[in-house]
Amino acid sequence: MSRSAGFTLVELVMVLVVMGILAATAIPSMTGRRTVDAPGYADQVRQSLKYGRRLAVSQRRNVCVAAGAAGLVLTQALVSGSGSSCVKAVGDPLSGTALNLVPPGGIALSSSAPSFVFDGQGRLVGGAVTLSVAGDGQTRVITVESETGYSH
């Protein structure tokens, strides 16, 4: 008696059901990219502000921040002193290129002040600043305190 090799109809249907369940759970997680981009970008902004403050303190010179729809850019003064203007780009500690955080598509950055300055003691010149990162249906708010320059 010869027996032919192959799959039964029940086995094929079960494979299709399992593949359907996997596809139903995997596809939404791949298309929901903005749900990852928005909190990730907010964290990058917060960490860049902290880095700018630490740089101002360690080098005893002004670090200027420009924030708006185009993104977040950090520059620093060439010499120490409160009257020094920021003309040199701050380098990204990982890549060495100029620190310029452009928001991903569908993510918006706004600020209560289009530009602000950390002085050589890490304080924010002027007053507290609020930055907002909007995306994925939520708005994440980052506040920079005036006396300490602390970002949270």
* pLDDT tens digits, one per residue of 45-96: 999 999 999 999 999 999 999 999 999 999 999 988 767 788 999 998 888 8
What are the phi and psi torsion angles at 22 (to 5°)? -65, -40
Domain range summary for the chain, segments of one domain joined by +:
34-144
- What pTM was computed for the model? 0.76
Dist. CA 103–CA 45, nearest whole Å: 10
Q: How confident is the model at residue 29 (pLDDT cuts 50, 70, 90)?
A: low
Dist. CA 139–CA 123, nearest whole Å: 26
Which of the pair, 49 or 7, is modelled with greater confidence? 49
pLDDT score for 35: 61
Model confidence pLDDT, tens digit, residues 129-145: 999 999 888 999 999 99
Q: How far separated are the first and last CA of the chain, in Å rounded?
A: 77
Rounded to 5 degrees, what angle do the CA atoms 114, 119, 121 make?
A: 140
Instruction: Reply yes or no on whether the pLDDT at 127 is more than 80.
Output: yes
Dist. CA 17–CA 109, nearest whole Å: 43
Dist. CA 141–CA 27, nearest whole Å: 30
Which region, left, alpha or beta, applies to residue 106 given φ > 0 means left and ψ of -120 to 50 means alpha?
Answer: left
Q: Which two tokens stand for residue 133?
A: 């990162």
- Proportion of the chain above pLDDT 70, given as a percent: 91
Assigned CATH topology for domain 34-144: minor pseudopilin epsh fold (3.55.40)
Q: Which two tokens stand for residue 92?
A: 């990204």
- Interacting residues of 69 by C-beta distance below 8 A, sequence separation 6+: 103, 108, 109, 110
Helix (H) or strand (E) holding 30: helix 9-31
